[in-house]
Amino acid sequence: MARSGLAGAVRVARWADAALGPGRDGATADGKATLSASTAERAAGELGLTVARIRADWDTARLAGLIEVHGDSARPGWRLRAWDRDDSAVLRGWVALFDAWSLACPEPGDREAAAVAEVVSAMPQVLSFLQLSAGPVPVDQLLDLLQQRVTELRTARCEVPYDPQLEPTPLAPTAAPPAPEPAEADDAPLEPLLDWALRALASVGALTYGDGQATLTPLGSWAVWVKLEQICVAAQSPAGNIEQAAEDMLRGCAQLRPNAARAEYRAWLAARPVGSAVTELLVAARGEDALLRGLAFEALRVVGAPAEPDVRAVLDEPALRPYALLWLAEHDGVDPEDAHEVLTREEATWLWVDTAAAVADHGEAPMLVRHLEAALQPTVPALLDEVRAVGHPRTVQVLVALAAAHPDPALAKAVRRAAFQVHTGGS
C-alpha cells in the first residue's frame, strides 16, 4: 500500500534526480522548494502528466523525504536511494507523509490559526479511537471526541472567558464571584476543521472518508499502532535513562546485558526525533571514551536505515571509520561475523587498540589479556609493530595496561618496551 500510494511521488523524485541535480537547471523560483512554472511544465511534458499532478506529486515527494531541495537544485533523499531494496525505507517515507498530514491539504482560510493548531493537537486521540474501533466510525461520534479533547487542551492552558463584571470589588466584596467556566470548544464550530482533517488524512492514504463515517486503512491502522507502541516503549525505559543525553544514556547502558541495553536504546530512540538522536549518538562517539564509541554504534544499529547517511558521512574520521565500515557492512546484509573483512589491516589494528582502551578503562585485567587473543597478528611482536604504526592516541596507555595485566613476565617486558618506544618516539 505504501509503495502504491507513493508511486507518483517516486516517479517525480526520480525525474528530479536526473533533471534537477547540481549543475542542472534550477528546480525552484521562490527559494521555498516550490517548482517553477517552467520546470513543472517541463516535467509534465516529459512524464505525460498534468502540471497540477506534477506539483501534487512533488509536494508529496518532499513530505515523504524522497527528494531534498537545496537552493535551486534537488537531490534524492536516502529513502529514494533505498526504495527498491529496503521495505523499511518505503514505510518510513509513508510515515513521514502521514506525520505531515496537516500540510497535505490547505486548511480552511476562515479559521483562526489557534483553532487549527488545537485540532491538529487533538487528532492523535481521534486516530487512536479509530484504531481501537477497528471499523467505520460515524463522523458525529468523532466530532464529540474532538470537542472533548479541544476542551481538555483549553482547560489545561487555563483559558477562561474574561468578563470584568466577574471581578470582585476590593472595598466591598459582598459575595464571591461565580467560578469561571472553561471556554467551550464549540465557540466556533469544529465541524469544518474536522472535515478538513479527515480529508487531509484520506489524501495521504491513512483513512477512507465518506457517507458520514471514517475508517482507517490497513496502512493507517498500522501506523497508529506503531506510534502507540512507541509511546509504550518509551514509557517502559528499563534502566530509566530515557531523559538523559546520549552520552549519559550510553554510560548507563555500559553495565547492562546486550538485550537489556538494546531495549534501553529503543526506549531512548522512541522518545526523540530520529535525526537529532543519530546526531547526538555520533557526538558521543567522537568523545575520548572508547567504550561509549562502541556503544554508540550499537545504538545506531537499533536505528537502522535512517542512520545510513550520517554513518556514511563519518567515514573520513579516523576514529569512527572502522566502526562506520562495520555498521555499513552489516546494514548491507553482511554477516556480523564476517563484517570485519571489510576493514584494512590498519583499520582493524586501530579498532583493536580502541577496543583495548575501552577494556583498560572499564574492564578487568583478565579481559585485557583475552583481548590480546583477538588480534589479527599471529605473534605479539607483529602486533606491537603494527600497533605502533597506526598511531592511535591511546597506544601508550593500552600497552602499559596490557603489560601490567599479562602473567607472562617476558611478554610483559616486551610490551612495556614497546610502550616506552611509542612514548619517546623511538622505533
**pLDDT band with cut points at 50, 70 and 90 for residue 155:** confident
The DSSP secondary-structure symbol of 374 reads: T
Identify the three-state secondary structure at position 279: helix
On whether the CB atoms of residues 43 and 19 are closer than 8 A, the answer is yes
pLDDT at site 51: 93
Least confident of 25-29, 193-197, 201-205, 215-219: 25-29
Separation of alpha carbons 28 and 127, rounded Å: 35
Phi/psi region, residue 385 (left: phi>0; alpha: psi -120 to 50; beta: rest), is: alpha
Q: Is the pLDDT of residue 276 over 60?
A: yes
Site of grid cell 564509541: 293
How many angstroms separate the Cα of 348 from the Cα of each of 340, 386, 392, 425? 7, 10, 12, 23
- Cα dihedral angle (235, 237, 240, 244), rounded to 10 degrees? -90
**Model-level pTM?**
0.55
pLDDT tier, 426 (very low <50, low <70, confident <90, very high otherwise):
low
Which helix (H) or strand (E) segment holds residue 69: the answer is: strand 67-70
pLDDT score of 174 more than 50: no
Q: Please answer whether residues 162 and 177 qualify as being in contact, where contact means their C-beta atoms are separated by less than 8 angstroms.
A: no
Residue 171 pLDDT: 41
> Mean per-residue pLDDT for 241-259?
86
215: burial class by Cβ within 10 Å (0-12, 13-18, 19+)?
A: middle
Return the percentage of the chain with pLDDT > 90, whole number.
34
Beta strands in 141-267 (DSSP E): 207-210, 213-216
CB 250 within 8 A of CB 299: yes
- What mean pLDDT is reported for the chain? 83
